[in-house]
Copies of this chain bind each other. A is one copy, B any other.
Amino acid sequence: MSLIRLTIPGTLDYRDLAVRVVAAACKLVAHRDDVSEDARAEFDMHVVSAFGEAFNNVAIHSYKGRAVGPLDIEIEVGVGEITLRIADHGPGYDPLDVKEPDLDELPESGMGLFIMREFMDSVSYQAGAPNVLSMTKKLTEKEIGGVA
């Protein structure tokens, strides 16, 4: 397993750079013979989407109304698996306080955590100094079209 660490200012200006790193890291997740190109493409798409939402939350919520702090990203590139840890130095929050979006009501916000949870295998958040959001996803063939 290999480790990638990226530290950037926690502002949206650095979103594109960070997303590119995550996309490149996905490509480094070791191939397995039994995984199709479609499954890989879906894996990349899900990880990049989830990461984008996590990045937004740090830039928009963690450092809202205070000095912008750093955003630390740790990526574990494993065999058929990726883990992202996103750390910020904001006040932290309790994700359990956040209501699931009611999709029938066509919400215009509050979909970020939902996207992360749906697209990754596991998402956890540990408030502290720093706050750390961890997300993991396995690259498996069942990804295709969401068929289990």
Chain A residues engaging chain B, CB cutoff 8 angstroms: 2-9, 13-14, 16-17, 20-21, 24-25, 27-28
A77 to chain B, nearest CB (A): 9
Contact B13 A28 (CB under 8 A): yes
Chain multiplicity (copies): 2
Residue of B nearest to A9 (CB): B2
A sample of 29 inter-chain contacts (CB < 8 A) reads A2-B8, A2-B9, A2-B14, A3-B7, A3-B9, A4-B6, A4-B7, A4-B8, A4-B14, A4-B17, A5-B5, A5-B6, A5-B7, A5-B8, A6-B6, A6-B7, A6-B21, A13-B28, A14-B28, A16-B24, A16-B27, A17-B21, A17-B24, A17-B25, A17-B28, A20-B20, A20-B21, A20-B24, A21-B21
The distance in angstroms between the C-alpha atoms of A17 and B20, with both chains bound, is 8
Nearest opposing residue in chain B for A25, CB measure: B17
Bound: A27/B2 CA distance, A = 28
CA distance A3 to B17 in the complex (A): 13
